Amino acid sequence: MNGTVSMLRPTGGNPATRPELTDELRRAVEERAAAAREQLAAAVAEFGGEGEVTFANSFGAEDMVLTELILRLGLPIEIFTLDTGRLPAETYDLMATVEKHFEARLKIYFPDTAAVEEYVRSEGINAFYESIDLRKRCCQIRKVEPLRRALAGKKAWITGLRAAQSTTRVGLPLREADETHGLVKLNPLSDWSEQEVWGFIRIHDVPYSALHDQFYPSIGCAPCTRAIAVGEDVRAGRWWWEDPTLKECGLHVKS
């Protein structure tokens, strides 16, 4: 499966990651950040601290905003990530940077070894390119099942989802009931724009993935993520061979 993009891009890196920090943008970012801080603190007050509220961090730009907010505020919110075994090297580099930068240890969940081995032996190492069903099975093993374990016993989980990210997330609320996992799902950045996300990162000097500067606005597993071209949707680089109205890995699909 070819992951290259032939459309021309501007030289000098990705301009989206370097927004002009105008007074207007700074005000907008501070208003958004203040609201997000209130929502995070309210979650702790309502549900309890670590062990009750958890944050799913996939190390995209939005998740780095929430990492900064949670750790700088010293909120007792657990931060976990799913290591699928097929992540880009840049994601592992950022994991290490985050732990050093924030002096914090992340909780990492891995897929079941036997399930991965059975899938690869029966279907092939890159079977997810062959059909949507095989791709979803891979996501189920490497992401969905580990997420189920990560959320077990929790009362609320926090995500970095934004409504503007894709057609599958239009109308995303700040708070919703997750009936699949039997808890409350909080999306504090639901109404943030991409410019506001990057404005926050620049203002607060938050570490982020080197892939973002290489035109990867959305980052998942390495073989299922590519750079995008000028004018493409921010999620165009994820499972680019599939219908864009259906592209999700299963982590955020309602049962």
How far apart (Å, rounded) are the C-alpha atoms in residues 49 and 45?
8
Judge whether residue 151 has pLDDT over 70. Answer: yes
How far apart (Å, rounded) are the C-alpha atoms in residues 224 and 231?
20
Whether the model clears a pTM of 0.85, i.e. scores above it, the answer is: yes
Task: Determine the topology of domain 15-224 in CATH.
Answer: Rossmann fold (3.40.50)
Mark whether 224 is an active-site residue: no
Contact 41, 73 (CB under 8 A): yes
Q: Give domain limits for the chain.
A: 15-224
Catalytic residue (one of 139, 221, 224, 249): 249
How far apart (Å, rounded) are the C-alpha atoms in residues 147 and 111?
9
Distance of CA 157 to CAs 14, 36, 147, 152, 222, Å? 31, 14, 11, 11, 25
How far apart (Å, rounded) are the C-alpha atoms in residues 150 and 145?
9
> Could you tell me the pLDDT band of residue 246, with boundaries at 50, 70 and 90?
low
- pLDDT tens readout for residues 19-67: 999 999 999 999 999 999 999 999 999 999 778 999 999 999 999 999 9
